[in-house]
Structure 1
Amino acid sequence: MTGGAESTPRNAATDGRAGDPVAEPAGVPAAGSAPFLGVEDLVVEYPTAQGPFRAVDRVSFRLPRGGSLAVVGESGCGKSTLARALVRLLKPTSGRIVLDGTDIATLPERRLRPLRRRVQMVFQDPYGSLDPHLTAQQIVAEPLRLSGTGDRAERARRAAELLDRVGLPSSALHRRPPEFSGGQRQRIGIARALASRPDVLVCDEATSALDVSVQAQVLDLLRELQAETGIAYLFIAHNLGVVREISAEVVVMHAGRVVETGPTAAVLAAPAEPYTRALRRAALDPTAIRGVKPRHLLAATAPEGTRT
């Protein structure tokens, strides 16, 4: 996990040039060191009948090798667009995405293809992101087949190892997605993303479709995988309670821009921006939780002065 939890959160509205997004979240490497993933003044626009719509507006942040960073905000703030740009499912309008020293923002597909394995994505919807006609083993082996890795037997063996690693039994190998629960499907999605041994895993609301107890299981799995492999995580989320459990640093987005950034614990304890305070209040309604209410999530959203 990234360090710097004791540093002071920075306010993007007042830090640096007025109105400009913060370039470096507190606690990540200083300007003199090279991050593994650096996003600089990234802009993503969509064409509309009224002209270009700017979904991501000059967003900057840095993710160190093996670190964790969360990007949070309400629906429609540009989080998922940002995630898709990072894995180059979308081509940015301008700005830079520097992966281990290489700017991938404008690379043509021919030069981008060898780098794609290094940044993989776990999608939000575990029901719609898996091919229902393939078995779990085939789904996980698919990235290996597309990259020309090994023969069929080797790919099947590697897929079986990954499914075992994410906690699915051997009986799951030849079952198809409709035969799995939502949590099990998300584990298959994580195994698929890990198949190409990425350096960065972008998790786009990877637990939002799951109930609270299954969320906890998936978050535990992601922590274990990071401890074992040193993979870096970039989490896209709207739930600050969940973010507190998985990432030491947080970037808050609103209307496509960064409005606040800093150590997650500090931002949750004392948000500097009214938008972040409103997001914190709305992050989790304890009365809506089904089953056992995790104390750490309730504490994350308890009124200030009442947390113990």
Structure 2
Amino acid sequence: MRGALLEVRDLVVEYGVRGGAFRAVDGVSFTVRRASTLALVGESGSGKSTIAAAIVRLIRPARGSILLDGTDIAALPEKRLRPMRHRVQMIFQDPYGSLDPHLSALQIVAEPLRLRGHDRASRARHAAALLDRVGLAASTHQRRPAEFSGGQRQRIGIARALASGPELLVCDEATSALDVSVQAQVLELLREIQRDTGVAYLFISHNLGVVREISSELVVLRAGRVVESGPTERVLAAPTQPYTRALRRAALDPAALRGRKPRAVLAATPEDSGAEGAPGEGEHP
């Protein structure tokens, strides 16, 4: 069994609200092993993206630990965290909004290399190689994001994330904005990159069809808590919780595969009713 790269233990994330605090993540624990893929799934408001933001330290958790190769980064001051940031990178859901529209694809991918001290020639060489790696021809490298399709923009985002030489990529709904055929291409690219580099993925999605294709381990979240976890195939073949069964039914709906939440399909059946019923409507802040 591969060793642990990321260990999240009893993670709690709170947001200040009038009259107190709202707990968006409540005691979540899981482990991402080297060169493997763990998926976090759940409907909007389940805490998936909040966990991702805490792992890359866009927000600081209220309690709990985030161990990266044994070092707890949850409470590290920025000065000590900065040298470690290249080890964990994120691929965002919106492949256009996350790219600087004024820069070329080559410049976008080269920027992390600049921050790590590469000279101009080295940046250009490495950035071009990364764009080639994700399937973008040299003739496109000087184009700006608006000149690319959604799938091509996501490939630029992947190349940019890889430029830092990460050990872990946090993929926050990285395929949900893409058409099904393009999703399949990006998933295959991610698998190829993992085979070639040994990078680990934390793959965040509400789409169990996609999750089944990419992950070996699965954590199901509801309202900021883990309701079920284990090997992906086992959880999907025989889920023990009504909430997981509702998500599994949703994966059979074509709307889910287009990244939309099929509320009619998610309505609980009589056998799925109870304390762990069908996914709710609420959004976390």
TM-score w.r.t. length of structure 1: 0.81
Give the alignment partner of residue 87 of structure 2, picking from 111, 118, 125.
Answer: 118
What's the CA shift string for 1:64-93, capped at 9, x where partnerless? 111110000001111001001111111111
Report sequence identity in percent.
74
Matches of 1:214 and 1:45, distance apart in 2: 36
Matches of 1:287 and 1:85, distance apart in 2: 30
- Matched letter for residue 177 of structure 1: P
Q: 1:227 maps to what in 2?
A: 195
Aligned length: 258
Q: 2:207 maps to what in 1?
A: 239
Q: 1:65 maps to what in 2?
A: 34
Matches of 1:119 and 1:140, distance apart in 2: 16
Q: CA deviation at 1:289?
A: 6.3
Q: 1:168 maps to what in 2?
A: 136
Matches of 2:255 and 2:90, distance apart in 1: 32
Q: 2:155 maps to what in 1?
A: 187
Give the alignment partner of residue 256 of structure 1, picking from 215, 221, 224.
Answer: 224
Matches of 1:288 and 1:186, distance apart in 2: 20
Matches of 1:249 and 1:51, distance apart in 2: 35
Matches of 1:50 and 1:123, distance apart in 2: 33
What's the CA shift string for 1:134-189, capped at 9, x where partnerless? 000010011111222x2111101110000000000101110000000000000000
What's the CA shift string for 1:188-219, capped at 9, x where partnerless? 00000000110000000000000000000000
Matches of 1:260 and 1:110, distance apart in 2: 37
**1:133 and 2:92 equivalent?**
no
**1:154 and 2:122 equivalent?**
yes
Q: For the structure 1 residues 169 and 54, does the alpha-carbon distance in structure 2 shift closer, same or farther, using more than 3 Å as the test? A: same
Matches of 1:135 and 1:36, distance apart in 2: 33
Give the alignment partner of residue 93 of structure 1, picking from 62, 67, 73.
Answer: 62
**1:268 and 2:236 equivalent?**
yes
2:209–2:257: 8 Å Cα contact kept in structure 1? no
- Matched letter for residue 85 of structure 2: R
**Most deviating of 222-231 and 49-58:** 49-58
Q: CA deviation at 1:50?
A: 3.2
- Matched letter for residue 35 of structure 1: A
- Matched letter for residue 121 of structure 2: A
1:42–1:92: 8 Å Cα contact kept in structure 2? yes
2:113–2:123: 8 Å Cα contact kept in structure 1? yes
Query: Tell me, which stretches of 5 or more residues in structure 1 are unaligned?
Result: 1-27, 291-308
- Matched letter for residue 91 of structure 1: R
Query: Tell me, which stretches of 5 or more residues in structure 2 are unaligned?
Result: 259-285
Paired residues for 1:278-293 under 5 Å: 278-286=246-254
Runs (4 or more) in structure 1 with deviation over 2 Å come to 286-290
What's the CA shift string for 1:257-295, capped at 9, x where partnerless? 0000011111111110001011111124137868xxxxx
2:218–2:229: 8 Å Cα contact kept in structure 1? yes
Q: What root-mean-square deviation, in Å, do the aligned CA atoms of Structure 1 and Structure 2 show?
A: 1.4
1:239–1:284: 8 Å Cα contact kept in structure 2? no
- Matched letter for residue 276 of structure 1: T
Q: For the structure 1 residues 288 and 113, does the alpha-carbon distance in structure 2 shift closer, same or farther, using more than 3 Å as the test? A: closer
